[in-house]
Structures are given as structure tokens and as C-alpha cells.
Amino acid sequence: MMEIKKVAVIGAGTMGAGIAGQVANAGVEVWLLDLPTDNGTDAEGNPLSVNAVAERGLERLRDPDSPGLMSEEAESRIHLGNTRDDFHQLAGCDWVAEAIVERLDIKKDLYKRLDETCHDQAIITSNTSTIPIKLLVEDMPEAFQKRFAITHFFNPVRFMRLLELVRGEHTDPAVIDVLDAFCEERLGKGVVNCADTPGFLGNRVGVYAIQCALHAALDLGLKPAEADALFGRPMGIPKTGVFGLYDLIGIDLMSDVVQSLVNILPDGDSFHAEAGVVPLMSEMIANGQTGNKQGKGFYRTDEATNTRYV
Ligand code: NAI
């Protein structure tokens, strides 16, 4: 069985940084790449490094309240970079895990670049929440499809044991065996093999449930804290509640995830009427209220009461 000795994660956001941290915790070298920052400045007007996004991802792993890294030694195994200047580093990686935005067009563009750069045996996976493999790789050569799978980690990566492993029609069974063994034995995950269907298992059920709660809260005119007091515990989300979970996941990502399910699910599916797109989410995104990563979402994390409805 092929051994995974070096990994790359593309996308240093909530999930990509978490995956890189978990790989580093397991003693494996990992490149963490995101888009380059050109001519960016921080809040004080100082120039930002070209790898500022990847650096922010690493910074989140150091969060003392929810540490994604187990040691400084683990951190030393993470190499930061960007997809313009450091893409060639992928040629030496055995597993490239894509964890970029939930947009089919952007993911497809990246796969074309990966196909040109990665070595023939390299395994390539997506962390997509909703998009079936057959759509992700429909334009790719069969050789690429053979080494492609979905490894769907849950948030936060270090603490959530579940990992959905999805194989496509053309995925080589040996690729699934390598991923299954690595994710179980090295990353400590509980791997569940899922069919290649929209949202797989977790998000088909979970997104449906929390979107239904959002629809109900809006219909009933409930504030997030009121709705969470009602729905949180019965829905099995006692700690954050439904709206705190939206903030944790990211309102922007949830909007993309819901839109992606709406695009993929057949017309008559009950998801459309009961759990479909809510205009409030677009308004929040336009206002920069994307959840914990911006410090404001349904809840404002900087306010003692934590109860503001936005
Ligand atoms: P995020 O928005 O936190 O991070 C995405 C990162 O990708 C950003 O840093 C962005 O700059 C980067 N990016 C965008 N286009 C890129 C490109 N062409 N090349 C390189 N980097 C690029 O998103 P998040 O939440 O980490 O989600 C990533 C993936 O994981 C999505 O497919 C999402 O559906 C999935 N996912 C998210 C979960 C969550 O709770 N946030 C849970 C499970 C899966």
C-alpha cells in the first residue's frame, strides 16, 4: 500500500488549516497554501506578507481556547505558502487535500492545475460539503478521476472524529484503502464510507435540520438566543445552539452549501420549500457578518450578552 509521507492542503480557511494541523500532529510534513496577498495592508496600514492568508490559518491553530496543534514540534512541520509562488511544491506531495471555497467552478479550475503539477500516484481529495464527485471531476481525464476521492472532515477538525470518505465511479479502490488507513490510523478519525450523493450523509441530514430551524425561527419571529433555547438541546446541539453553529461554520459557507444543495437536488425534493435559501443570509454576508471568523454573525462574539440578532 502506498505510504503518505508528505501532504499539501490547499485553502487555509477554517477547514484547511484544521486539516493541516491534524496532519502535522500525526508527524507528517504538510504544505498549507492559500491565495497570495498582493499589496495588502493590515488595520494599521503595514504591508501584509504574500502568505498572509495561510499565516492567519496557522494563527487560528494556536488559539488557546480551541487549540488545533498539539505541540511546537507539530507546528514546525507546517510550511506556509501561496498558490502562485509555491504550487511546484505539490509535485513532492503524496496527498493533496483541497479545502477551498464551496464553488464548483473554482474547484474545477484548481483540479486542472493539480493535474499538471502532482505526480502520477498522488492522491487528490476534496473537503466539499455538498458537491458529488461526478460533478467535481466531470471534465477531468480518467487517470485523474482514478486517484480522486472526497475526504469530508468535520469542524473543528482536531475534535470531530467523523470523516466521510466518498469514492466516485472511477476511484481506484487502492486509493480508498490508503485514505481509509491514513485517516483512521494516523489522524484518529472514524471513517464512514458514503455514497456519492448531494451532501453525503452528515450535510444531507444536518444542513436540512438547521436550515429548517432557521426558517422556523424567522417565521415565528424568534431571536437567536430564544430559538437556540428551544431548538438547541432537542436537536442535539446544546453547546452552540443552531445559530451559534451557523456562526462557527460561517454564514458565507452555509450560504454556498445551501445554494449548492438547491442546485443539485431534484425539483420535488422537500429541501427546496423547507430548508432553501434565506435572503437574510445574503444581507448578513453583505454586512460582513459571516460568523466567528469576523467576530460577528447571528451572535456578536465581542458582546457580553451575546444576543444581538443581525
Ligand atoms: P473558508 O472560507 O474558511 O476558507 C476557504 C479558503 O480557500 C480561504 O482562505 C480562501 O482564500 C481560499 N481559496 C479560495 N479560492 C482559492 C483558490 N483558488 N486557491 C487557493 N485557495 C483558495 O472555507 P472553509 O469553511 O474552510 O471550507 C472549505 C471547504 O470545506 C469547503 O468546500 C466547505 O464546503 C468544506 N467544509 C467546511 C466546513 C465548515 O464547517 N466550515 C465543514 C466541512 C466541510
Q: What CATH number did the domain enclosing 73 receive?
A: 3.40.50.720
Count of structural domains within the chain: 2
For residue 131, tell me if it sits in a domain.
yes
Q: Which three cell numbers stand for residue 146?
A: 482514478
What does the pLDDT read at residue 307?
Answer: 47
Angle between the N-to-C axes of helices 251-264 and 202-220, in degrees from 0 to 180, rounded to the nearest 10: 110
Whether residue 209 is found in the same domain as residue 141: no
Cβ of residue 13 lying under 6 Å from some atom of ligand 1: yes
Which residue from 241, 245, 211 is spatially nearest to 228, judged by alpha carbons? 241
Residue ending a domain, among 178, 194, 210, is 194
Helix/strand/coil (H, E, C) string of 249-297? HCHHHHHHHHHHHHHHCCCCCCHHHHHCCCHHHHHHHHCCCCEHHHCEC
Whether residue 154 is found in the same domain as residue 210: no
Atom 1, ligand 1: which residue's CA is nearest? 13
What does the pLDDT read at residue 284?
Answer: 93
**CA 154, CA 182: separation in Å to the nearest integer?**
16
What does the pLDDT read at residue 304?
Answer: 55
What CATH code is carried by the domain that includes residue 279? 1.10.1040.10
- Distance (Å) from CA 13 to ligand 1 centroid: 5
For residue 42, tell me if it sits in a domain.
yes
Cβ of residue 100 lying under 6 Å from some atom of ligand 1: yes
Whether residue 96 is found in the same domain as residue 183: yes
Cβ of residue 106 lying under 6 Å from some atom of ligand 1: yes
For residue 305, tell me if it sits in a domain.
no
Q: What is the dihedral of CA 68, 74, 77, 82, to 10 degrees?
A: 20
Whether residue 43 is found in the same domain as residue 183: yes
What does the pLDDT read at residue 302?
Answer: 57
Site to probe by mutation for ligand 1, drawn from 50, 117, 129 as the one with most ligand atoms within 8 Å of Cβ, is: 129
For residue 225, tell me if it sits in a domain.
yes
Cβ of residue 11 lying under 6 Å from some atom of ligand 1: yes
For residue 206, tell me if it sits in a domain.
yes
**CA 54, CA 70: separation in Å to the nearest integer?**
19
Cβ of residue 155 lying under 6 Å from some atom of ligand 1: yes
Whether residue 215 is found in the same domain as residue 98: no
Whether residue 178 is found in the same domain as residue 257: no
Atom 39, ligand 1: which residue's CA is nearest? 249
Low-confidence ranges of the chain (pLDDT < 50): 306-307, 310
Whether residue 124 is found in the same domain as residue 207: no
What does the pLDDT read at residue 42?
Answer: 86
- Measured from the Cα of 128, ligand 1's closest atom is 32
- Residue 64: exposed, middle, or buried by beta-carbon count in 10 A (0-12, 13-18, 19+)? exposed
For residue 122, tell me if it sits in a domain.
yes
Whether residue 178 is found in the same domain as residue 224: no
For residue 13, tell me if it sits in a domain.
yes
Atom 43, ligand 1: which residue's CA is nearest? 154
| DSSP secondary structure, 190-254, as one string | EEEEE-S-TTTTHHHHHHHHHHHHHHHHHHHT--HHHHHHHHTTTTT-TTTHHHHHHHHH-HHHH
Neighbour tally for 43: CB within 10 Å: 5
What does the pLDDT read at residue 295?
Answer: 84
Atom 36, ligand 1: which residue's CA is nearest? 129
Decide if 163 contacts 191 (C-beta within 8 A).
Answer: yes
Instruction: List the domain range (segments joined by +) for residue 149.
Output: 6-194
* ipTM of the complex in this document: 0.99
Whether residue 169 is found in the same domain as residue 235: no
Decide if 220 contacts 191 (C-beta within 8 A).
Answer: no
Q: Which three cell numbers stand for residue 275?
A: 430548508
Whether residue 39 is found in the same domain as residue 163: yes
Decide if 67 contacts 22 (C-beta within 8 A).
Answer: no
Residue ending a domain, among 145, 178, 194, is 194
- Distance (Å) from CA 14 to ligand 1 centroid: 7
Q: Which three cell numbers stand for residue 84?
A: 502562485
For residue 93, tell me if it sits in a domain.
yes
Whether residue 208 is found in the same domain as residue 163: no
Whether residue 145 is found in the same domain as residue 231: no
Cβ of residue 14 lying under 6 Å from some atom of ligand 1: yes
pLDDT in tens, 52-71: 999 999 999 999 988 999 99
Cβ of residue 156 lying under 6 Å from some atom of ligand 1: no
